[in-house]
Amino acid sequence: MTDQATGLASLPQKNVLVTVEEGVAWVKFNRPEKRNAFNPGIVYEMVQVLDVLEMEDSVGCVVITGAGEAFSAGQDLKEYFREPDAGHPVLRERLHKANSGWQWRRMMYFPKPTIAMVNGWCFGGAFQILLGCDLAIADEDATFGLSEINWGIIPAGIVTKSVAMALSQRKALYYIMTGETFDGRTAEDIGLVNFAVPKEQLVARTTALAKKLMEKNPNVLRACKTAYHYTREMSWDMAAEYLAAKSDQTKYRDPEDGSTKGMKQFLDEKSYRPGLGAYRRD
Ligand code: ACO
């Protein structure tokens, strides 16, 4: 699908490093000396990375993580806030749009499964990409914090809304209002990440999860996440109608005709049980 001009070979591999292994794209923020704070370099490179990865047939799952001891220390206070705020307003607007584009909408509806692998510090704006990913695994000793309150801003971008969707009101407001840090185990307890594991197991557990996702029918997986995000904003009646239509569309567009195969294997061949595993895809 991709060629030299638009494919993996076209990526700068500067602020963001990308490697592909056995179908998993490992996307690593690469400013360890600045704790992977999101500067314009990361923002614009991530837009490019996502453009390439969604079209790259060799990629079935995307893992997002950070180089060094940080996942990300959030937005770059100097290069994302202070300098652009003092510069041309159109350029500032362009930067903010590109940032919310990749961290939020792009991730929410990204056509392949995504996993945040939180390997260390995770602050402020980094919550956006954390919650933009479908699933998340953290080092149990990673440090999380909505630190905005501590230096005079609110969790903006779309962080406050994302946190409100993911956590209970009590937990969300507690961390927003106190700025208190918490570790990976607490992040699992409050539902911010799926699992917290010892550092030495982080890559293996993430790889296993990515492989599990890649065993599923990718067409249906894509429709599942799209339907999840859209129906959250709909009334019950609208959601029921949308899901009926989305279900037909998913079946109609499925190149491997999964539902027919599954039914045949269960009803006719009696060769599998849906409750105990997946249908045979080949
Ligand atoms: N923006 C810009 N630069 C940053 C950021 C950031 N968010 N975070 C770290 N850096 C820089 C530091 O200024 C320092 O640069 P320097 O070497 O040129 O002085 C370098 O990264 C290393 O940072 P240290 O603080 O020395 O690293 P340490 O390991 O001691 O601490 C920690 C790491 C806890 C993450 C600390 O850097 C920190 O508190 N950073 C800010 C976290 C934060 O509040 N993020 C939210 C930003 S606002 C938002 O996202 C909306």
* Domain harbouring 127, CATH code: 3.90.226.10
Q: What angle do CA 271, 273, 276 make, to 5 degrees?
A: 130
Summarised one tens digit per residue, pLDDT across range 137-175 is: 999 999 999 999 998 999 999 999 999 999 999 999 999
Strands (E), 38-177: 61-66, 70-72, 114-118, 121-123, 135-139, 143-145
Reported pTM:
0.96
Residue 73 Cα to ligand 1 midpoint, Å, equals 6
What span, in angstroms and rounded, lies between the C-alpha atoms of 38 and 102? Answer: 12
pLDDT per residue over 112-125, tens digit each? 999 999 999 999 99
Whether residues 95 and 189 fall in one domain: yes
Counting ligand 1 atoms within 8 A of each CB, the residue from 35, 75, 147, 160 with the most, and so the one to mutate, is 35
Q: Specify whether 196 is located in the same domain as 222.
A: no
The confidence band for 2, taking pLDDT boundaries of 50, 70 and 90, is low
Helix (H, G, I), strand (E, B) or coil at 128: helix
How do strand 135-139 and strand 24-29 relate by DSSP bridges?
A: unpaired
Determine, yes or no, domain membership for 88.
yes
256 pLDDT more than 70: yes
Same domain, 116 and 230: no
Identify the residue whose C-alpha is closest to ligand 1 atom 30: 35
Could you give the number of structural domains in the chain?
2
Please report which confidence band the pLDDT of residue 3 belongs to, taking 50, 70 and 90 as the band edges: low
